A and B are shown apart, each in its own frame.
Chain A
Amino acid sequence: MESSVDQLEYEVIRRARFGEESALGTLIDTHAGALIGYIDRIVKDSFQAEDIAQETFIRAFDHLDKFDPRRPFRPWLFKIGRNLALNYVSSRAGRERIESRDISERRDIGTDAGPEEALDSLERKRGVEMILEILPAHFREVLHLRYMEGLEYDAIATALGLPIGTVKTWLFRAKKAFLVKAEASGIEF
């Protein structure tokens, strides 16, 4: 069952549909942080994530008439953001930037020191970030949506455009992979 939407959000979206700027502003204030974080997780570039988030909001506002206000807004917004982010990632410019970033990060970890030693020198938070970076993209996404954004299975399914069964499977495997990497890296729970 899709998560039900609260009355306040319903009202804000109703007003936003008429182009009321205060309502549009409320939507930005409520979802911008989560959206930028989610897109950043995909494109791995905070500046680009900001630009894509901006574009996501504009597209969402332009198509609010197609949105069912009885459903939660965030998964729908994330779906638009995800599509734009994936378009960017698959573009040549996106691929080049992500590859160059991956190389520089590998250099940061260092080849002389083992992963455990390298992780020892980093904060726990950075360690978790690094594990997420090396997980497959779809695992990273479901973990982010579930644990960072607190989305339910059905909301994740909406955001990713997948059946709930697939989301559950991905999440199950993602957790396993995440814990294996965390244990291998010596991160304490």
Chain B
Amino acid sequence: MKRLFNSKPDPCTEFIDSLPAFRDGILPEDTHTKLEMHRMDCASCQKVLMEEQKVSSLMAEIQPAEVPLGFRDKVLREWRLRRDTVKKTIPAVSIGRIQVALAAVLVWVLLLPMVRLQLLSSGHKLIGTLDRLPPEYREGIDITFNVPTFAEMSATFMVWQGGILESMGELGSVIAPWSGWLWSALVVTGILAAVHFFFLKSKLPMRDSKTQKSKESM
């Protein structure tokens, strides 16, 4: 527990942590001297260093693996081949365009009915409130509640959006031709990102590889 509250490691831990660098003599001089001083007084660290040197000298016996002749060209050839194959299989319509198209449909098909439902609900609530008023207060009040049609709502939406763009001045006029697309892209990108993050990320299939094929054939 003591170590949990003590940010400075004890000398033995510090020695063991720095062991490879200490053994290779690549520590700063003052650190090396400090650790060397500790080692001379610490039987446990002397043993650790001795073991480190033994393991290191034995492991040095093993020769590094040889790279087969032509390995580099083989890898690059295979990489090029797969890259070209992937390029050929990518559809002409990019994912981005599909997203934008989907967004456009979603905005007009899903968003507007949702707004319309909200309006209906608000209207009914208002009528309900009036109904609860005593008759004398309701006298002379005639409410006609007209829910706008989709066409009217679309027009209102466009006017509202136009207002925003106007307030943006020069930038608004640049964005204006693309505003429908931008709204759509924003909504659908968000939806797709959420779907990807929550459902697809860990389930994407791994690409077939030569290794996989060779495994199956063995």
Q: Does A178 sit within 8 A of B, measured CB to CB?
A: yes
Q: Does A98 sit within 8 A of B, measured CB to CB?
A: no
Please tell me the number of chain B residues within 8 Å of chain A, measured between CB atoms: 37
Per-position 1/0 for A166-177, Cβ under 8 A of B: 001000100110
B62 touches A125 (CB 8 A): yes
How far is it, in angstroms, between the C-alpha of A40 and the C-alpha of B64 when the chains are bound? 11
How far is it, in angstroms, between the C-alpha of A182 and the C-alpha of B163 when the chains are bound? 82
B68 touches A50 (CB 8 A): yes
Per-position 1/0 for A1-45, Cβ under 8 A of B: 000000000000000000101001100110011101100100000
How far is it, in angstroms, between the C-alpha of A55 and the C-alpha of B176 when the chains are bound? 48
Min Cβ gap B73→A in Å is: 9
A46 touches B65 (CB 8 A): yes
Q: Which of B66, B72, B83, B209 contacts A29 (CB 8 A)?
A: B72
Give 8 nearest A-B pairs by CB, closest first.
Answer: A37-B65, A147-B59, A93-B218, A125-B61, A36-B65, A32-B67, A28-B72, A55-B211
Per-position 1/0 for B204-218, Cβ under 8 A of A: 000001110011101
A52 touches B58 (CB 8 A): no
- Could you say which residues of chain B place their CB within 8 Å of the CB of A94? 215
Please tell me the number of chain A residues within 8 Å of chain B, measured between CB atoms: 50
Q: Which of A36, A51, A129, A176 contacts B67 (CB 8 A)?
A: A36
The answer to whether residues A129 and B211 also contact, given A36-B67, A178-B55 and a CB cut-off of 8 A, is no
Q: Does B71 sit within 8 A of A, measured CB to CB?
A: yes
Q: Does B52 sit within 8 A of A, measured CB to CB?
A: yes
Question: Beyond A28-B72, A32-B71, A40-B65: 6 further Cβ-contacts under 8 Å?
Answer: A21-B80, A28-B75, A46-B65, A62-B79, A94-B215, A146-B20
How far is it, in angstroms, between the C-alpha of A36 and the C-alpha of B210 when the chains are bound? 17
Q: Does B149 sit within 8 A of A, measured CB to CB?
A: no
Q: What would be 15 A-B contacts, judged by CB atoms less than 8 Å apart?
A: A37-B64, A46-B65, A49-B65, A54-B210, A58-B75, A58-B209, A97-B218, A143-B59, A147-B59, A147-B60, A152-B20, A175-B52, A179-B54, A179-B55, A182-B58
Q: Which of B61, B64, B216, B218 contacts A124 (CB 8 A)?
A: B61
Per-position 1/0 for B27-52, Cβ under 8 A of A: 00000000000000000000000011
Min Cβ gap A46→B in Å is: 7
- Counting chain A CB atoms within 10 Å of each CB, the highest count among B17, B58, B72, B76 belongs to B58
Q: Does B125 sit within 8 A of A, measured CB to CB?
A: no
The answer to whether residues A54 and B71 also contact, given A25-B76, A148-B59 and a CB cut-off of 8 A, is yes
- Could you say which residues of chain B place their CB within 8 Å of the CB of A125? 61-63
Per-position 1/0 for A51-91, Cβ under 8 A of B: 11111011001100000000000000000000010001001
- Counting chain A CB atoms within 10 Å of each CB, the highest count among B78, B79, B82, B218 belongs to B79
